[in-house]
Amino acid sequence: MIKVGVVGGTGYTGVELLRLLARHPMVKLQAITSRGDAGSRVDEMFPSLRGRVDLAFVAPQDARLEDCDVVFFATPNGIAMQQARALVDAGVRVIDLAADFRIKDVSEWQRWYAMEHAAPELVHEAVYGLPEVNRESIRGARLVANPGCYPTAVQLGFLPLIEAGIADTSILVADAKSGVSGAGRKAEVHTLFAEAADSFKAYGVSGHRHLPEISQGLARIAGAPVGLTFVPHLVPMIRGIHATLYAKVTGAIDLQALYEARYRDEPFVDVLPAGSHPETRSVRASNLCRMAVHRPQGGDVVVVLSVIDNLVKGAAGQAVQNMNIMFGVEEELGLDVIPVSP
């Protein structure tokens, strides 16, 4: 059994981790920490877990995380970077669901996240946990930087195009839409039901923190910087991300075959038949990314539609997938949830 600790279990990625880990046949949940709610039962805050998680939140200092085999950080940005060093030194493997170790260029990270990095040397070591790109490195990693939700949907969608070298990477557009749970379980006015329901808007057009993360990933594949315009939007739904991707391509390639071949062996990427329009509900509560590729009117603009559940493949599910890879168990273990539809 893999002994697991979760730091920061009171947000949406935290409770989603618990939903997945509680059913995972190889996992023993050791500790769930919370500074503010230490002492109170987990299932009191999250009644959905009654009968499945029989733990109380503990204060970080009482959690004995160094006895775990792996620790997940489901914390705000800036927490994991302060604690990862000690855990890694103690032989504990770390998976950070926040952004602390995602950007290789520390000064760029500091600009976007507006704080000093506490463990720049670990940034270099950390493996970016997108299994479809980095599976082999993840296997041996001591520290995994779990990708952001938008970056997962966008990178997986662009990947085959860019790997094939047929896209004009100087002008890529990612028009992305997210359910409101992506904003986290924080008391804020703009994500109140009465604000976000029955409405739609873009946000962060001038610059969103996921932009450098996506650009870095695409550039790595392209072997050169890319010109990406990324516009996120807020959708009045709870879960789900839909990325609509636009790229100019050159040459007459069979895009459907390209995408199917690229993802044939990926357990969590599903290329739909030509002409499809994936819905976010077709992946709700599951670790899948479904996508479709179009070339409207046979022109030179390719449109890729890519959907994930932001809390699963976009966060907790991908983290568990990374854990499975790191510990050499079957990659789909504990992740066999069938999407909940309708």
Q: Give the residue numbers annotated as catalytic, written as ranges.
A: 149
Six-digit token string for 38:
């230490």
Q: Taking CB under 8 A as the rule, does residue 198 contact its own copies?
A: yes
Of the listed pieces 29-37, 59-67, 75-83, 239-247, which binds its own copies according to CB under 8 A?
239-247
Q: Taking CB under 8 A as the rule, does residue 249 contact its own copies?
A: no
Based on CB atoms, which residue is closest to its own copies, 94 or 316? 316
Q: Which of 289, 193, 181, 315 is nearest to 238 (CA)?
A: 181
Interacting residues with its own copies between 47 and 66 (CB under 8 A): 47-52
Cβ within 8 Å of residue 229, ≥6 positions away: 171, 172, 173, 174
Interacting residues with its own copies between 142 and 171 (CB under 8 A): 171
Interacting residues with its own copies between 251 and 280 (CB under 8 A): 270, 272, 275-280
Q: Taking CB under 8 A as the rule, does residue 227 contact its own copies?
A: yes
Please give the C-alpha separations between residue 249 and each of 165, 222, 254, 274, in angstroms, as whole numbers: 9, 14, 12, 18
Interacting residues with its own copies between 3 and 22 (CB under 8 A): 12, 15, 19, 22
Based on CB atoms, which residue is closest to its own copies, 114 or 200? 200
Among 93, 177, 262, 313, binds its own copies (CB under 8 A): 177
Among 85, 135, 142, 233, binds its own copies (CB under 8 A): 233
Of the listed pieces 54-62, 64-72, 216-224, 236-244, which binds its own copies according to CB under 8 A?
236-244
Do 228 and 245 form a contact (C-beta atoms < 8 A)? Answer: no
Cβ within 8 Å of residue 223, ≥6 positions away: none
Closest separation in Å from C-beta 29 to its own copies: 13
- The span from the CA of 82 to the CA of 99, in Å, is 13
Six-digit token string for 161:
């195009």
Residue 42: other Cβ atoms inside 10 A: 25
Interacting residues with its own copies between 67 and 126 (CB under 8 A): none
Please give the C-alpha separations between residue 86 and each of 5, 83, 143, in angstroms, as whole numbers: 14, 6, 12
